[in-house]
Structure 1
């Protein structure tokens, strides 16, 4: 069996030790109950993937009613959700994985239909430009901004009570935390918008609120992570330099890891084609040694994961690959890498506990980087060849 560095344990700033460097990236299942309660389908999905995975970041949970972004989304907006969330945390932790609840507000990435007639909210009244059918949001008032910050704190309190090992603030993928940071979504002229410093303010205030709740409420070391998308395709939009500047500020906050959401873990910036330096190297160059970096981006093979760890990244977050192969970690540990699945068989979705609600999404929106055994290009003799990048 290969001696992979990613199988070694890692200790975070707060003293919590993760048994290995394998993380499960947040995976949208769209399978919660009508009120945002955790469903049996979700529990079955996570149960199959817990164990050899050192750390599991759950799919997003909304922190308030206006934060809901899609049907079948988990909620952490009310104390009534705690029993179901406790089942989710317990399911993940029972097999030795750390359970991290990702929390967010969708902002303008919601709709009037999802919000049952209410208008979506954002930093400013600017509709998402890449969706011609997007509903125009209204700008949050000062009082609503302060309440939303508190809602993130209340959500963290519930995660603590439910038994999670930590929370991850979803400041990526064009959701509300990123919207305040974005010059496209944020056209405000008050303290919450305008300059780069002001556009950072909302996300940093959420970090401070959540850190305070953890300090006052947690009876155990509790992990706080933050997720970023380093660039936006819009112009004006977030640039790499903006995100690196915010990462430097975040590094001085009591967060335990920084998580980058990338299309390819090893990619260089997509907005400036002349810049060939990998994004991960840009972050490693400016982050302090004690702040671990987690990266998600179409990781599949043990060789890819090991290459990432050897570059200095602390955690490799697998998304689509852990959908296809729940026992990825177990097979690597056992030296049985030839048995790793790299393609999804349509006949195996029930075997893999993949909720029916997400299957259509896998074959459409998330098809990029997902090989299916019935695809014409699928090669049974080399199923991983599409993923070596």
Structure 2
């Protein structure tokens, strides 16, 4: 049998296979309050044949939001909304982590009562847009605004917001949390020289640029335990104006520091567009040498590519994104070599059950 379908362990968790449902923003919360709802419970339950589900990116505070209708996990109402989701997923045998994010400069004053978003430095990302919808759910992509540079008080508060939301996520029934440190959002903005031009202890040297990530991780580990914490990083992704010449060695150093803190996993977000750069095998070897706990990879993986990266020992779990949108029974389809359905890209963000919970499972002949 393929390694992809083997039972395995993630720290304290027994996983029914090595298939992960990747975090994907779908923007279907109930309003007001960005509250998870029964439709979301159905959506995740349909896909709970995965070994692990990582939730869509979930904001840690009011000022962490950058897109309409994305969920939070810091209010009582949001926690109550997540509980049926996690129960539904666990009933099907999957584990579930909540991906915690703060978008930083990838935002707009619309989400901040007219105030500017916060970021390491007052630098707007070039050619970067966010999705903003009206009360009827009709949305448009809008340019990000120039943020204001975070003060020390802002930094301290956001670190505590991560820890508090992690605690609330466990209360909501999640098995753990994934700290989103990639794809151009706040933590990633601290890691990169082009978005972080601070002159204090959080900018300049590699050690300083890593400080915010590590302080967030330590606060969250203190709150819920390192065995319930994963981190997502994106060394080769440069969209959202994130082309930093020092990011690969920075992330290799981060992996060493994260291993020292014995977190549950490191989730590598790989570029997934057609002409994306190929990740050098030398990087995968060096990453594995520095980080020996569970590694998850994600980025347009086919079954063949997934099995190859598992066989070489460069990863322990493989995450699938878009294929899981259109194929709620993705694990069965892969195992039985059945064709995959295509997703309807027009229904990815916002809307109702159409393009969300109405994708059909494949009939096994």
TM-score by length of 2: 0.85
1:303–1:232 Cα change, 3 Å:
closer
Instruction: Describe the SS at the equivalent of 1:59.
Output: coil
CA spacing shift, 1:37–1:285, aligned 2, 3 Å? same
Quick one: distance in 2 between partners of 1:145 and 1:82? 24
- Residue 260 in 1 paired to residue 240 in 2? no
1:136-188 deviations in whole A, cap 9, x for unaligned?
Answer: 10111101111110111100110111111110000011111111111111111
Match of 1:135 among 107, 124, 145: 145
Aligned residue for 2:232, secondary structure, equals strand
Task: List alignment gaps of at least 5 residues for structure 2.
Answer: 130-142, 357-365
**CA 1:360–1:281 in structure 2 vs 1: closer, same or farther (change >3 Å)?**
farther
Aligned to 2:290: 286
Question: Are the equivalent residues in 1 in contact too, given 2:13–2:95 (CA < 8 A)?
Answer: no
Answer whether contact 2:296 2:318 (CA < 8 A) is retained. yes
Which residue number corresponds to residue 356 of structure 1? 351
Q: Secondary structure at the match of 1:126?
A: coil
Residues 12 and 227 in structure 2, CA contact (< 8 A), matched pair in contact too:
no
- Residue 365 of structure 1: aligned partner: none
Deviation of the 1:251 alpha carbon = 1.1
Task: Give the alignment of 1:15-34 within 5 angstroms.
Answer: 15-34=12-31
Say whether 1:323 aligns with 2:325. Answer: yes
Equivalent in 178, 185, 206 of residue 168 of structure 1 = 178
In structure 2, do the counterparts of structure 1 residues 90 and 33 end up closer, same or farther at CA, with 3 Å as the change threshold? Answer: same
SS of match in other structure, 2:310: helix
Partner of 1:224 in structure 2? 229
C-alpha separation in 2, matches of 1:295 and 1:161: 27
Q: SS at the partner of 1:356?
A: coil
Q: Deviations over 1:58-110 (max 9, x none)?
A: 00110011101100100112233211111121121110100110001010011
Matched, 1:337 2:320: no
Equivalent residue, structure 2, for 1:40: 38
TM-score (norm 1): 0.80
Q: Which residue of 1 aligns with 2:187?
A: 177
User: Which position in structure 2 is the counterpart of 1:308?
Assistant: 309
Is residue 209 of structure 2 the alignment partner of residue 199 of structure 1? yes
User: Contact 2:38–2:85 (CA<8 Å) still a contact in 1?
Assistant: no
**Residues 1:277 and 2:281 are matched in the alignment:** yes
Q: Structure 1 residue aligned with 2:89, among 92, 96, 101?
A: 92
CA distance, structure 2, for counterparts of residue 79 and residue 252 of structure 1: 34
Look up the match of 1:53: 50
Paired residue secondary structure (1:99): strand
- What is the SS of the residue equivalent to 1:114? helix
1:121 and 1:62 map into 2 onto residues whose CA distance is 14
Unaligned runs of 5+ in 1: 216-220, 362-389
Structure 1 residues 9 and 22 mapped into 2: Cα distance closer, same or farther (>3 Å)?
same
Contact 1:82/1:159 (8 A) holds in 2: yes
Change in CA separation of 1:44 and 1:287 when aligned onto 2, cut-off 3 Å: same
Distance in 1, Cα, partners of 2:128 & 2:236: 18
* Secondary structure, aligned partner of 2:111: coil
C-alpha separation in 2, matches of 1:39 and 1:101: 15
Kindly tell me: are residues 327 and 206 of structure 1, through their superposed partners in 2, closer, same or farther at Cα, counting changes over 3 Å?
A: same
Separation in structure 2 between the aligned mates of residue 227 and residue 358 of structure 1, nearest angstrom = 29
Paired with 1:118 and 1:56, the residues of 2 have a C-alpha distance of 34
Q: Relative to structure 1, is the Cα distance of residues 295 and 68 closer, same or farther in structure 2, using a 3 angstrom cutoff?
A: same
Contact 2:322 2:343 in 1 (8 A): no
Deviations 1:225-249 (A, max 9, x none): 0000113534545531221111111
Per-residue deviation, 1:303:
2.2
**Paired position in structure 2 for 1:83:** 80
Q: Would you say the 8 A contact 1:126–1:136 is kept in 2?
A: yes
Instruction: Tell me if the contact between 2:190 and 2:210 (Cα under 8 Å) persists in the aligned partners.
Output: yes
Q: Taking structure 1 as reference, are residues 112 and 21 closer, same or farther at Cα in structure 2, changes over 3 Å only?
A: same
* Counterpart for residue 258 of structure 2: 250
Contact 2:269–2:299 (8 Å) recurs in 1: yes
